Structure formats: C-alpha cells, structure tokens
Amino acid sequence: MKKLTSHLLLLVLSVLSLIPLLGMLSTSLKSSEQIYKSSFSLIPNPILWSNYATALTKINFWSCAANTLYIAIFSIIGVTLSSALAAYAFGVLTWRGRELCFGITIATMMLPDMALVIPQFLLIKSMGLYGSSLSLILPYLGGLPFYIFLLRQFFMTVPRELRDSARIDGANEWQIFCELYLPLAKPALMIVILFQFMLSWNDLMKPSIYLIDEAKYTLSLGLQQYQSQLGGAEWGPMMAAAIIVIMPVLILFLFTQKHFVKGVMASGLKEA
C-alpha cells in the first residue's frame, strides 16, 4: 500500500509537471484567433502546422542552432575535462592543503551568478573576446564546482587497490586517470555532459551580454529577439519555436536517463 501511494503521488506530480509543456504544444498548433478565444481548448481545431515553418524562418533557426551547438560542444569538452582533472586531484591524489583547496572550491558555489557577471565581463573585454563565441566557452574551461564535487564523489568510490595495481603494472598517473578512472566514471560524466548541454543550450543571460552580431546569436537569444519585435510576438510561432528549442534537451535526456540515474546513485555512495 505504501509503494502504491508513492507511485500515485509521483504520477500526479508528473502529470502536473507536463501541463505547461502540453499548453505550449497546444498553443504552437493554434491560430491567433484560437489562442485569444475566451474559452480555452487543449486540442487545436484546426491544427496549424504552419506555425513551425514560420518559427524556423523568423528566428533564423538554423544559424542560431549551429551557433548554440558550437558553444555547447566546446564548453562540454572543456568543462568535462577540467572538472574531471580537478576531481581526480581532490579525490584520489594526496597532497598538502587538498581539503582546504577543495573547501574553497565548493564555497564558490554560494556565489550567485550575478556577482560574477561584471568581473567576467571585464576579463573577457580585456582579452579582446567581447562579441566572440569564445566569450561563452572560456568561463567553463576551468571547470565548475558542482561538476568537480560530483566527479570527486564518484572517484572516491573506486577502490584504491585498482590504482595500486595499475601503478605496480607500470602505469603513470595520466594513464591511470585516462584508462582506469575515466572509463569507470562514465555514468557521472554523462550527468556532467547532460547538465552542461542544458546550461549552454538554454543560457540567455551571457549571450545577451557578450554577443552583439546577429550572425552569432544563440537560439535563446534569437527567440528573445523575436519576442521583442514590435513590442510583442505571434504566440503560435513563438510556442512552436520554444518546442523546437527544447526538443534536443528532451531527446538527450531520454537517451541518457539510465546513465543519469546510475551516476547520481553511484556518486552518492561515499560521503564528502
């Protein structure tokens, strides 16, 4: 009975979380007359597929998608590698001041993003990268505290005997990291990749600060610019564009959810 109650509660919460998505999908298939009707209907009549064609053209979708994908791929590579290296140093290697440095790293998670906007902007501008896509990739090349913490927890679950055996076989530290720890950390790395993809794909604040050339706009910025045209937007194409933008994230999560759950469970097996 307890298990049944838990499942029913989760089912209700899942349905409630899907309501906004269903509302977006319904609006994306409606004409303006249907949207502004006094009576609400979830099922469009007739279904207007042309909203999706309008969305793809009016926000310059393919160019924005290519820019966003470029930023997402390189930020994922940079943040995953740097976070894994830092996590390996904090969780596996033994050196003086390790716990203090790790504590300082984790403490930076308490800083709000808005507190870092001005220092990052001044740094990016002084490097001559203002207006470049590199300004959206560079801040991730040093890793993120949450990813470092997550990967460190996973690395600490790997038995030290495996590292000692590899050391006896003649492997150096870099080989142990690349050939032993990284393959074992695949579930945790999938979490980092998924989170970073979502962060880069959905980011609006940083592109709106650093990008000034429309040819380099990301999807979120292109969507925002389309909404602000003439003081408003057509809600049908607008919701169609929003559905198109979130689809890659949903598809990626569907293919990685098994690794996601496994990584979360494994990373929480050992206390910090």
Nearest to 176 by CA among 199, 160, 191: 160
pLDDT in tens, 148-165: 999 998 898 888 888 888
Task: Please list the alpha-helical segments (H only) found in 108-218.
Answer: 113-126, 145-155, 160-168, 173-176, 182-184, 186-202, 205-210
Encode pLDDT of 184-240 as tens digits: 888 888 889 888 998 999 888 899 899 888 888 998 888 888 777 645 567 888 888
Lookup: tokens for 122: 């001044």
Average pLDDT for 39-57: 81
Mean pLDDT to the nearest integer, 245-251:
84
pLDDT at 214: 85
The pLDDT value recorded for residue 261 is: 67
Q: Which fold has domain 25-267?
A: MetI-like fold (1.10.3720)
What's the whole-number mean pLDDT along residues 76-80? 94
So where are the chain's domains?
25-267
* CA distances from residue 225 to 60, 100, 189, 233 in whole angstroms, order as listed: 11, 45, 34, 10
The residue type found at 71 is: I
How high is the pLDDT of residue 269?
Answer: 46
Predicted pLDDT of residue 84: 94
71, 135 Cβ separation under 8 angstroms: no
**pTM listed for this prediction:** 0.83
Average pLDDT over residues 256-271: 61
First-to-last CA distance in the chain? 35
| Beta carbons within 8 Å of 92's beta carbon, 6+ residues apart | 155, 156, 158, 163, 181
Cis peptide before 183 (omega within 30 of 0): no
- Under 8 Å between Cβ of 26 and 243: no
For 12-28, how does the pLDDT look when each residue is reduced to its tens digit (9 = 90+)? Answer: 998 888 888 888 888 88
Closest by CA to 264, choosing from 200, 187, 197, is 187
pLDDT at position 260, please? Answer: 67
